[in-house]
Structure 1
Amino acid sequence: MSTTTLAATHDGGSGCLICQSKNQQIQAKDEVIRAKDAVIAAKDDAIAQKDQALKAERELREQLQKQLKLASAGVKAKATKDKDPYHHPTKKASLVNIKSASSQAQEEKDALTIYIRNVTESITYEMLHDAFSIFGTIRTLNVVHPKMVGSVAKLSKVAQVLKYRPQEGKAPWDHAKDTLVHYDYIVLGGGSAGSVVASRLAEDPAVNVLVLEAGYSDEVLASRAPGLYSTIFQTDADWNYETVPQAHAGNRTMMQPRGKLLGGCSSINAMMYHRGPASDYDEWEALGNPGWSFKECLPYFKKSEGFNDPNLPADHPCGPLTNRVRYPGLETFDSQAHGTEGPWQVTFHHLFHLSSRFVAASQAEGIQFNKDFNGESTLGVNRIQTFIQRDGIRSSLSRAFLRSEDVVPGGKNGRGRVRVVFGADAKRILFQCKREVKMASGIEFLDHNNVRRRVMATREVLLCGGAFGSPQLLLASGVGPLPQPSIPHFHTLAGVGANLQDHLGLSVTFRARNRCQTLNQEYGAYNAMKSLFNFIASGTGPLTTQIGEGVIFVRLEDIAPEWVAQEKANGTYQERASGPGSPHLEIILLPGFVRRHGTILAPDFKSYYTVTALLMNPCSFGTFKVAPKTDKEGSVDVEGVVDPNYLAESFDARVLAQGVKFIRRIVRRLNNDPTVGGREVFPGEATVPDHDDRALEKYAREAAETYYHPVGTCKMGPASDPMTVVDNRLNVHGIERLRVIDASVMPKLVAAHTCAPTVMIAERAADFIKEDWSSSSRDARIQTTTIAEARL
């Protein structure tokens, strides 16, 4: 168009193109100005919040110092001889690990603990709501500043997660809607194994699956944010098991965290993805379980795994986040060892600088670098792989396998045949006998209104309650050793509840240099909020750590050859490892002050770190039993009695003592690192010196704690072994249509973190079930009735 023609079109009317363009430009400038004003206002709000947080933190520190002085005054009094010198007497939280000689000092410290918790919670939630309003303002600027936040949709989604409370969003049994009381499969427990089994069975659109979960949803911040997992312990999302007093471990009663929410322990654990040495599974097969060699198990490990290659381009659907700190030398892996098509995401995520220095110090101490703990060898040092999504959120098994489209009828790809019922407390298995054949037929449970109901299985009942839940339900249903009082006996299996094995850990805590970043520095109000913002906006920062970052797997002859030789000479050495590639100890670096599962607070907000030695092949075995109790209705019920029998074999305590010595050798190297440092604050070398083996063993008995890996209480093996409970296809011996599918079937504890092995077991079980029913000529499905007909 010529200039003359363009000028002729400018008549100043409403249809003038030039005027319209100018008006649009003016409007755009006005929007930018308003946006900038909003940004300025948001910044002012943020500054005000920071000032408020700093003021609150100063007040907290002043109060802390004042109360600690009062507490310290009481400590100077003579301590009673029966006090535990390493732990507070069964407290859920404490400020410092000191002897309490006066009840007044103890009360003052307890009061301070409550004060700190109240202040922290009030600051967090108050500031959180303000943060959401700031994010709401920022969202309106996404067009002007698209890089200001990573994803508006994600912010909205995570904001909903942060505001969620476990008691909301329940999906309990609905009498008006839940008229179906016959399902093909009933899965007891929507935990790590139950989520996998239910999802895999539902791949067949011709079947329906019911999952009875005693807890509720896992859509809670403490589960979604990896760095907050220990805050779930001893809440309603935890079964809150405790051991009986441990006769060989200071007569202590120890907590046993178990997940009571969808996803089970995969929703509350430390997210370490580790399979263990191949020889451990070959040993399972050698114990009379054909088909369970590592070669046959490996495809099932890979089947569930969706490994994220950290070297993929940033825009790749499975690639890593671009705005996290990278440690390429510590992101090594064996591509042949991993699966990439499974729904369970495995990756490398946040890593503290401290962890990289820990790996270097371990190498300097003679420990070989391991390219991939899930590759050819388990031994060596490296960072651990984790089941965390690329957006920084925990990849629990419920999140991976029980997605919303799978649990709603009519979901995608013909699936959605899984019905998940929350608040369903299973009480007993229902049995019947046909032609003298015992078989499981259903489940009796209490719904969320405490109404007793029954549901029936036309194919199988699948117990996925874990090492405590599955034997408890069997025993409560009359399946186990000799008849118990008040429980009608149905079937004798002496091994139910026996063979309990667990990994025991012993920790040493160190004070780092101030420049060394650790989690304790993030406990201050302002830093805590900053970490929350980073987690919400970009899925980065300290809250995306699963805390156990740097890891060593070692054998005793590699770190204490003289001690091993002496033990063998004395005839006291006990070899429990499955082979020369199976570790005796795992050493884990925890970048923070970690005592009693994170329930004991550090004395201040300075830098601390903890290193823990885990006993991988315990010689001490325990039991899980039940004791009768009366429920709310006055009916006879049972409760679990956990007795791991920790350190009953003195060799276990001596091995942990060697672990402490090895930890100190590594930290002495860290102490010479100008960026780290390492002054031992607990237990202290003056109190427990390296040269005093008796003091080290005593420390082990007074301070060791569970590391959440109980297994073996429904042992897998041939029927010729009277202590086995299930066969190699996980069928309960002597009872048709009943299987146990979880960590309780492991005949021997693997030298690994048990979540990945449990998922492998579930994947195998799902195929066993499909194979058995595809070739079976079993009874036809029972005609569906209504729930009203099944009510007691």
Structure 2
Amino acid sequence: MKTTTQAQRSAQLELLEAQLMAGRLDRRRFIRLAGALGTTGLAAITMADKALAIGANQAELRRELKPRYDYIVCGAGSSGSVVARRLAEDPGVQVLLLEAGGAADAPSILNPAVWYTNIGGPFDWGFKTMPRPGLNNRSIAMPMGKAIGGGSSINATVWARGHKHDYDHWARASGDEAWGYRHVLEIYKRIEDWQGEPDPARRGKGGLVFMQPAPDPSPLAPAMVQACASVGIPAFADHNGAMMEGPGGAAIANLCVKDGQRRNVPSHYLYPIMDQANLTILTQALVHKLTLDGKKVTGVEVEWDGQLRKIGAAREVVLSAGAINTPRILMLSGIGDATELKRLGVPVVANLPGVGRNFQDHTMVAACMWEPPEGLPPRNNSAEATFFWKSDPKLATPDMQPFQIEIPFSSELTSKRAVPTAWTIGPGIVRPESRGHLRLKSSNPRDEVEIHAKVLEHPQDMAAMRKAVELCREIGNAPPMKAYVKREVMPGPIKGKELDNFIRDAAVSYFHATCTAKMGTDKMSVVDARLRVYGIENLRIADGSIMPRITTGNTMAPCVIIGERLGEILRAG
């Protein structure tokens, strides 16, 4: 008889909650089914009442949609969910949160082990880059979440804070020390509910966001950490503690996974307050553009429930639509490079040439791959160990972040050589020098955005990636990995042009598109230190697009910090 695991029970229970909230299940049946999954009677009743209260409240708020709210937040991702929560904590403020996608209750979202199956699926915007020479004229997917939670609903669940140098750079770029590591560390400590080895100087306990080192990891993960140590990369118990204040190291990854289930950012920030009368959440709501009176934003034009509506904002609009959609909304509203706007036939409201420029992303090579003697089922998020290291000892900060991935993770070209049971170490660079840009095809909000990512076009990026491939091969073939290696599948000991072609054919996005509406003080900056859009009233941006430079590591946690910083700024007045 097949045994139901705790993770499976949690997944089933979460689906039942979603069905109850949406009115597809009644209270009595929910309580009975929850009990069959091992939930106590009182706990099942409490869960049912909360879900019913949320469902009834949000249904009523949608029916009675107001023509005007105090704040409109566009995008319910890793930053927008935080901003909406912090604004709605004031009961006197009416908040409207708009999300172009739908609910985040699909099995492929809830199960962190299959995050990669969401790429190109219904919960992904489906963006692709323009063919470029850095990728041997390939076009690659640029995944972005299209559901409540945004990227936090389809990513690999990794909580990576970034290096201390990242935030100190932000502070210098913005001219505001509150963006520096010292203050950001205090925010992290306040919001975290860290389940790993205690570190009171660096980690928080009891906050909103649950994370832990990958529990009961595949034996591949600790073996890779040991293999890193064997080549001189020190092992750490926590990849977000002291390790990210120095030259780097290897560790089991921090994951936002609980009882085998993904905990996306809305599960921490939005769900607990969705029964409040001052927070309205509209899904399947596509923002076309901002409405303006001169240079003052008055609200948004949004497509929802089959209609194009104009909804007002008495105080401010916050764009949290991500590094592709935020610049798109700005440009469609007449805010951007004047030459580009005129090409599109869009009246110029504010000439901000930095909108859509400074595009940055992390790049991974998919893949350096090994075939094991026997199958090794993936666990948790299928990517439980990582390391940060320098491609050149003279660098101030680690610029490489490979991840061990417990499946044959590959590009469309390297997949031809993949083995179904293989595991991967994906060489990754996280301090790219290449800079791309976005370009709208037309003034139609539904038209595609041209993403000129310029991946690997800076010589320093290729040099770092060569080093990353060589280092990953050394680690994968090191003695601590021997028990898990029958043979190296690819790339083998290739050099020169052959190695460069392998890299360009295998390169994929790390899913961390950022920096396209950067914070700063120079002429290419789009927002100031208080995230106000230059030259425009009542408009702020809070998402990964405001990063002056991309952080060292996965970007979900830094996007939460951006949301928290705007929350602080707005509360301070």
TM-score greater than 0.5 by the shorter chain: yes
Hey, what does 2:263 align to over in structure 1? 395
Give the conservation status (yes or no) of the 8 Å contact 2:373–2:486. no
Instruction: Measure, in 2, the Cα distance between the counterparts of 1:506 and 1:222.
Output: 24
**Alpha-carbon distance in structure 1 between the residues aligned to 2:176 and 2:219:** 45
Matched, 1:306 2:162: no
8 Å Cα contact 1:653/1:701 also seen in 2: no
Letter in 1 for 2:132: Q
Instruction: Give 1:446's aligned residue.
Output: 303
Look up the SS of the partner of 1:252 in the other structure.
coil
Give the distance between the partners of 1:762 and 1:504, measured in 2 at CA: 25
1:413-424 aligned at under 5 Å gives the runs: 416-424=277-285
Task: Mark the CA change 1:245 to 1:510 in structure 2 (over 3 Å): closer, same or farther.
Answer: closer
Letter in 2 for 1:365: V
Aligned length in residues: 530
1:582-661 correspondence to structure 2 within 5 Å? 582-596=397-411, 607-628=421-442, 638-661=447-470
CA deviation digits over 1:373-415, x for unaligned, max 9?
Answer: 22223211111111112x2211101111111x51234xxxxxx
User: TM-score with structure 2 length normalisation?
Assistant: 0.86
Q: Pick one of 369, 374, 395 that aligns with 2:240.
A: 374
Question: In the alignment, which residue of structure 1 is the partner of 2:383?
Answer: 548
User: Taking structure 1 as reference, are residues 604 and 707 closer, same or farther at Cα in structure 2, changes over 3 Å only?
Assistant: closer
Question: Aligned partners of 2:309, 2:317: CA distance in 1, in Å?
Answer: 16
Q: Distance in 2 between matches of 1:188 and 1:354?
A: 41
* Pick aligned residue for 1:207 from 64, 87, 93: 93
Residue 520 of structure 2 is matched in structure 1 by 717
Whether the aligned pair in 1 keeps the contact of 2:223 and 2:480 (CA below 8 Å) is no
Once residues 56 and 470 of structure 2 are traced to their aligned partners in structure 1, the CA distance between those partners, rounded to angstroms, is 49
Residue in structure 2 matched with residue 680 of structure 1 by the alignment: 488
Partner residue in 2 for 1:742: 543
User: Would you say the 8 A contact 2:76–2:148 is kept in 1?
Assistant: yes
Quote the residue 1:285 is aligned against. Answer: 171
What whole-Å deviation, never above 9, does each CA across 1:704-757 have from its counterpart, x for those lacking one? 111011111001012xx1100000010000111100000100001111211111
- Checking the alignment, whether the CA contact within 8 Å between 2:411 and 2:507 is kept in structure 1 is no
Instruction: Supply the AA of the counterpart residue of 1:554.
Output: W
SS of equivalent residue, structure 1 residue 285: helix
Counterpart among 240, 248, 253 of residue 384 in structure 1: 253
Per-residue deviation at 1:257?
Answer: 0.7
Instruction: Tell me if the contact between 1:304 and 1:763 (Cα under 8 Å) persists in the aligned partners.
Output: no
Cα deviation for residue 513 of structure 1 reads 3.1
Q: CA deviation at 1:771?
A: 1.5
- Contact 1:626–1:641 (CA<8 Å) still a contact in 2? yes
* Amino acid corresponding to residue 558 of structure 2 in structure 1: P
Indicate the residue corresponding to 1:408 in structure 2: 275
Stretches of structure 2 lacking an aligned partner (at least 5 in a row): 4-28, 49-54
- Deviation by residue 1:487-539 (Cα, 9 ceiling, x = unmatched): 222111010000001101113343433345233xxxxxxxxxxxxxxxxxxxx
Q: For residue 513 of structure 1, what is the aligned residue in structure 2? A: 372
Correspondent of 2:505 among 702, 720, 726: 702
Conserved 8 A contact 1:504-1:615: yes
Measured in 2, the distance between the counterparts of 1:240 and 1:637 equals 13
SS of alignment partner, residue 770 of structure 1: helix
Q: Distance in 2 between matches of 1:372 and 1:668?
A: 24
- Does residue 312 of structure 2 align to residue 504 of structure 1? no
2:127 alignment partner in structure 1: 241
Question: Secondary structure of the residue that 1:611 maps to in structure 2?
Answer: strand
CA deviations over 1:107-144 (Å, ceiling 9, x no partner): xxxxxxxxxxxxxxxxxxxxxxxxxxxxx9xx99x89x
Deviations 1:402-429 (A, max 9, x none): 11x51234xxxxxx42100011110010
Cα distance change, pair 155–202 in 1 and its aligned pair in 2 (3 A): closer
Aligned to 1:669: 478
Give the partner amino acid of 1:514.
P
CA distance in 1, matches of 2:138, 2:204: 42
Q: Give the Cα separation in 2 of the matches to 1:156 and 1:705.
A: 43
- Amino-acid identity (%): 29
| Distance (whole Å) between structure 2 residues aligned to residue 453 and residue 599 of structure 1 | 46
The aligned residue for residue 80 of structure 2 is: 194
- 1:711–1:749 Cα contact (<8 Å) kept: yes
Cα distance 1:546–1:171, how it changes in 2: closer, same or farther (>3 A)?
farther
Seen in structure 2, the aligned counterparts of structure 1 residues 430 and 628 have a Cα distance that, compared at 3 Å, is same
Q: Distance between the aligned counterparts of 2:360 and 2:450, measured in 1?
A: 15
Superimposed CA distance per residue, residues 413-452 of structure 1 (whole angstroms, 9 cap, x where no aligned partner): xxx421000111100101113xxxx211100011132x11
- Would you say the 8 A contact 2:332–2:443 is kept in 1? no
Tell me the alpha carbon deviations over residues 323-347 of structure 1, each in whole angstroms, 9 at most, x when there is no partner: xxxxxxxxx4524311223221111
Look up the match of 1:297. Answer: 184
Q: Does 1:470 align with 2:326?
A: yes
For the 8 Å contact 2:88–2:278, the answer to whether it is kept is: yes
> Contact between 2:519 and 2:528, CA under 8 Å: does it hold in 1?
yes
* Change in 2 beyond 3 A, CA 1:355/1:211: same
Shift of 1:296: 1.6
1:653 is matched by which residue type in structure 2? Answer: M
Q: CA deviation at 1:177?
A: 1.9
Query: How far apart, in 1, do the equivalents of 2:38 and 2:136 lie?
Result: 51
Written as runs of structure 1 = structure 2, the 5 A alignment for 1:117-136 is none
Which of 334, 340, 345 lines up with 1:486 in the alignment? 345
Question: In the alignment, what sits opposite 2:114?
Answer: 228
The letter for the 2-side match of 1:766 is G
Contact 2:82 2:564 in 1 (8 A): yes
Contact 2:160 2:254 in 1 (8 A): yes
Residue 197 of structure 1, CA deviation: 0.5
Q: CA deviation at 1:151?
A: 4.1
Q: How does 1:173-184 map to 2 (within 5 A)?
A: 177-184=63-70
Task: State how far apart, in whole Å, the 2-side matches of 1:759 and 1:301 are.
Answer: 9
Distance 1:646 1:598, change over 3 A: closer
Are the aligned partners of 1:408 and 1:419 in contact in 2 as well (CA < 8 Å)? no
CA deviation map 1:334-370 (0-9, x unaligned): 2431122322111122410111111111111221112
CA gap 1:181/1:393 in 2 versus in 1, 3 angstroms: same
Counterpart Cα distance in 1 of 2:466 and 2:264: 34
What SS does the aligned partner of 2:345 have? coil
Rounded Cα–Cα distance in structure 2 between residues aligned with 1:732 and 1:609: 45
Deviation at 1:671? 7.7
> 1-side partners of 2:498 and 2:468: how far apart?
14
- Structure with max Cα Rg: 1
My pick for the range that moved more, 649-658 or 754-763, is 649-658
Displacement of 1:548 after TM fit?
1.8
Give the Cα–Cα distance (whole angstroms) in 2 for the partners of residues 179 and 666 of structure 1: 57
Superposition CA RMSD, Å: 3.0
Distance change >3 Å, CA 232–CA 156, structure 1 → 2: farther
Distance in 2, matches of 1:736 and 1:235, equals 37
> Residue 671 of structure 1 contacts residue 679 of structure 1 at CA under 8 Å; is this kept in 2?
no
2 CA distance for matches of 1:417 and 1:596?
45
Query: In structure 2, how many angstroms separate the alpha carbons of the residues matched to 1:397 and 1:602?
Result: 36
> Secondary structure at the residue paired with 1:420?
strand
What displacement does 1:253 show? Answer: 0.8
Q: How has the CA–CA distance of structure 1 residues 598 and 457 changed in structure 2, closer, same or farther, with 3 Å as cutoff?
A: farther
SS in 2 for 1:510: strand
